[in-house]
Structure 1
Amino acid sequence: MIHQDTIVALATPSGAGAIAIIRLSGKEAITITDGCFKSVLNKKTLSSQKTHTIHLGHIVDGIKTIDEVLVSVFKNPNSYTGEDVVEVSCHGSNYIQQEIIQLFLRKGCRMATAGEFTLRAFLNGKLDLSQAEAVADLISSDNEASHQIAMQQMRGGFSSEIAKLREELLNFASLIELELDFAEEDVEFADRTQFKTLVDRIILVLKRLIDSFSVGNVIKNGIPVAIVGEPNVGKSTLLNALLNEERAIVSDIAGTTRDTIEDELSIGGIGFRFIDTAGIRDTKDVVESIGIKKTFEKIEQAQVVLFLVDGCQLAVDGKLDFLLVEINKTQNQYPQKALIVIINKKDLLSGETINTINTKLTTNNQQPTTIFISAKNNDGVDDLKNVLLSFVNTGALRNNDTIVTNSRHYDSLLKALEDIDKVKIGLETNLSGDLLAIDIRQALYHFGEITGQVTNDELLGNIFANFCIGK
């Protein structure tokens, strides 16, 4: 797994731009660049320069000048990868990028694979595995909350918490292992009372981290929100109002939306993915029927359902009672989903009508959150956003607590908790030291899986395959 060759890749997004950065890492990174670089200061070589310095010059291929560049030099071990690293900042022409990369390849570099720079940083001890994974999360973060969590983990917040637990557990494990060496003397080096206290504390921390995954997963992946209701109640208008753009076609013709329309919006730093669905009704139109079928599929996938109703229709006799039936049916069918009933066209309703609707809804035994809005006039949309945000527990985020967002970490934490629970039972039942040691070793193994103290090539391959090339 440890490679000694020199790798090269484009570190900025592919395509034309103002500038591009080409990164090299390895033992020959500076030497290879030196052979292609002509400084504006004659006889200046990169190998003789100090680390963390920038140099102006030209990349040349023989007598041919490819581009005027800035070359940044980072000497080992004080670099991102822990190796000699060179970054060439050139003009962002596709042609120039490829010419420089091809030149470095001819001079002895190899094209980097996905995530290989960060993999080398991990292998050279510059990052632990959870920090390396946070690099990928940081790159893909698309809202304030996911960015904040990735930054915290990349700085080692999660790693340090796990490392501290592992170290304390390892100390006790060493004492118990020592007892096994003196089994015939029947001595006890590990204080069982202190050990029980430690185990209880570890269980509390593990449960807190495991519980945080539900919040972390929402923050990382966003919350899918389905907008459902009958045709012409204002679903597409509401989507446009939420996004503040004409994303969906709005028409008085029933059945205009025949397929789902999705778009994302950040509210309070949390990503929400809104799904405008086809209006639910009985229809013989084949295409519209397919759209309605997709509506129910999207409800299944959503975590929050916005049940949109035309407030003007509620004035019709029996329509309000029918709404209550539909609300109860939806809640019974999807008990795990948050349901918000939105009464649209508030601007066309009298105060008396609003009070009547409120009174009727309040008597409903399964009263969900209800909001009156005018999607057309953007009235009440901010209230809706606040209600949506209330479904996310942002307390941990505000308090800067450690939040788990990675499913691999979550799985290892669950396994570690299972083994620690076995240790606790063993202590309570006075289990022998050799059997306690087995469960402790397993817990230590799962802690090590998170930070990379225990790993294998297959695991590393799976993790870094999801990185972008050049990082």
Structure 2
Amino acid sequence: MTNHFFNTDTIVALATASGTGAIAVIRLSGPEAITLTNSVFRGKDLRQQASHTIHFGTIRDKGKILDEVLVSLFIAPHSYTKENVVEISCHGSDFIVQQIVKLLLKKGARLANAGEFTKRAFLNGQFDLAQAEAVADLIASDSALSHDVAMKQMRGGFSQEIKRLRAELVHFASMIELELDFGEEDVEFADRDQLRALILNIQHIIRDLLKSFELGNVIKNGVPTVIVGKPNAGKSTLLNKLLNEEKAIVSDVPGTTRDFIEDEISIEGITFRFIDTAGLRETTDKVEAIGVERTMQKLSQSSLIIYLFDVTTTTPAELQSELEQLNPKERPLLPVANKIDEASPETLASFAGIAGLVQISAADGANLEVLKKALVERVNLGKLNTQQQTIVTNLRHVDSLNKTYTALDDVLNGIGLGMSGDLVAADIRRALYSLGEITGEITTDDLLDNIFTKFCIGK
């Protein structure tokens, strides 16, 4: 990766969300960002002002005032992209934004591509590729945990871990390469026992990182949680209570929910994507049958199942049979007894032998907090410390870590078989390459395009 990527063009884009609002921010980056803005700005001469200053004035097109604005200056290399950057804060009218952007384009700027500001920041050495990806995760974060993990990665927590592992491998790779220069003298600069111990330690760390992805994926993308049960078990009532809104139709008529209804809430920093489904039963109604079929599809895609049943009409033996049919070993399953307000104490006591059972009343919200706590426990985050623990959330990183692990296995096999230094060095280089893909020390244009085109235009 080059540390300085010089662009001759200046890009512009709306940095805030589109749509009418109090203010909008238009961002420019490139060598002419300040000069170009100054040509349409009436106020102080922006070319004479210091970095990290804000200036009031007007944007004009041939004398016509388009808007009163605040202009923020960030002079290279002290900016997000390490280029000259200008941010114009104007009123949040779509019309005003369009007029200002059109004027800047006419003056010589071009529209930024998706993620181009962050791509320039990466290419100019502002941060590495893993940190750049964390910027997108931070923007998309919708829970306390996803925010914490993205913030730590953006500040280089994961990157430092990878760079430390790579630096240790580089040392041994250089020692083996040095041996090759003295091939005829049969010398050994890289102690094979130390190399083996290092690789075993690195593999241990990689296993922990790979294991963290299961949690990282939950934190980043939420937990798809399907609410299933027989008709009239109270699934829609429960969903409405969890969401605090009338999202689903509630009726005493069996089969009211013909399709699935989906929404999400955050519980203790974890996003749960709740899916209310059609009741599980045999039916001759073609539309309802399609709903039941879709319920089974959602079950296969879920990470957590809430099996809700009417405690007044279900026996413990019937419940056990119904739970077994759902194959609970494939994913966490939480049995929930509903309508406890209508059941006798004896009926409720008869379910004492059902492991992990939660008893609620969806109608009046009784024990809803107990249910939420049980959901968090089923996700099994354990004693997660997002400030200390390195957590992998990106599937691309998982792929590179797996390739690194495989290459290190080959190094160990090569050492065990007494292979020549050049073959061992080749396997170490493969491991270094895969680790370098994570931080961007090894990149291709296709890889960068794939990553940054997923960003919003103004970032």
TM superposition score category, shorter chain reference? over 0.9
In the other structure, the counterpart of 1:429 is: 417
Aligned to 1:335, what secondary structure does the other structure show?
Answer: helix
Aligned match for 1:380, one of 367, 372, 380 = 367
1:326-337 matches, cutoff 5 A:
326-331=322-327, 334-337=328-331
Q: 2:258 corresponds to which letter in structure 1? A: R
Aligned match for 2:13, one of 9, 19, 22 = 9
Deviation of the 1:304 alpha carbon: 1.1
Bigger CA drift: 254-263 or 190-199?
Answer: 190-199
Judge conservation of contact 2:231–2:255 (CA < 8 Å) in 1. yes
Aligned match for 1:18, one of 14, 19, 22 = 22
- Does residue 42 of structure 2 align to residue 27 of structure 1? no
Judge conservation of contact 1:339–1:368 (CA < 8 Å) in 2. no
In the other structure, the counterpart of 1:95 is: 95
Aligned to 1:369, what secondary structure does the other structure show?
Answer: coil
Bigger CA drift: 334-343 or 254-263?
Answer: 334-343
In the other structure, the counterpart of 1:212 is: 212
User: Structure 1, residues 171-193: CA drift from partner, whole Å, max 9, x if none?
Assistant: 11011100000011111111223
**Structure 1 gap segments, 5+ residues each:** none
Deviation of the 1:396 alpha carbon: 3.4
Separation in structure 2 between the aligned mates of residue 168 and residue 197 of structure 1, nearest angstrom: 12
Deviation of the 1:335 alpha carbon: 2.6
In the other structure, the counterpart of 1:145 is: 145
Aligned match for 2:441, one of 443, 450, 453 = 453
Judge conservation of contact 2:265–2:273 (CA < 8 Å) in 1. yes
Q: Structure 2 vs 1, CA of residues 64 and 28 (structure 1 numbering), >3 Å: closer, same or farther?
A: same
1:310-349 matches, cutoff 5 A:
310-314=310-314, 319-331=315-327, 334-349=328-343
Judge conservation of contact 1:234–1:310 (CA < 8 Å) in 2. yes
Judge conservation of contact 1:153–1:159 (CA < 8 Å) in 2. yes
User: Structure 1, residues 387-422: CA drift from partner, whole Å, max 9, x if none?
Assistant: 110123142335621100000000000000111111
Separation in structure 2 between the aligned mates of residue 123 and residue 33 of structure 1, nearest angstrom: 24
Separation in structure 2 between the aligned mates of residue 338 and residue 440 of structure 1, nearest angstrom: 40
In the other structure, the counterpart of 1:418 is: 406
Q: 2:51 corresponds to which letter in structure 1? A: T
Separation in structure 2 between the aligned mates of residue 207 and residue 327 of structure 1, nearest angstrom: 33
User: Structure 1, residues 425-448: CA drift from partner, whole Å, max 9, x if none?
Assistant: 222333221111000000000011
Q: 1:94 corresponds to which letter in structure 2? A: D
In the other structure, the counterpart of 1:192 is: 192
Q: Structure 2 vs 1, CA of residues 446 and 112 (structure 1 numbering), >3 Å: closer, same or farther?
A: same
Q: 2:408 corresponds to which letter in structure 1? A: I
Deviation of the 1:284 alpha carbon: 1.6
**Structure 2 gap segments, 5+ residues each:** none
Separation in structure 2 between the aligned mates of residue 221 and residue 61 of structure 1, nearest angstrom: 45
In the other structure, the counterpart of 1:248 is: 248
TM-score, normalised with respect to structure 2: 0.96
Q: Percent identity?
A: 56
Deviation of the 1:254 alpha carbon: 1.2
Misfit runs of 4+, over 4 Å: none
Q: 1:197 corresponds to which letter in structure 2? A: A
- Does residue 409 of structure 2 align to residue 406 of structure 1? no
Deviation of the 1:321 alpha carbon: 2.6
Deviation of the 1:2 alpha carbon: 6.3
- Does residue 262 of structure 2 align to residue 262 of structure 1? yes
Separation in structure 1 between the aligned mates of residue 388 and residue 151 of structure 2, nearest angstrom: 11
Deviation of the 1:148 alpha carbon: 0.7
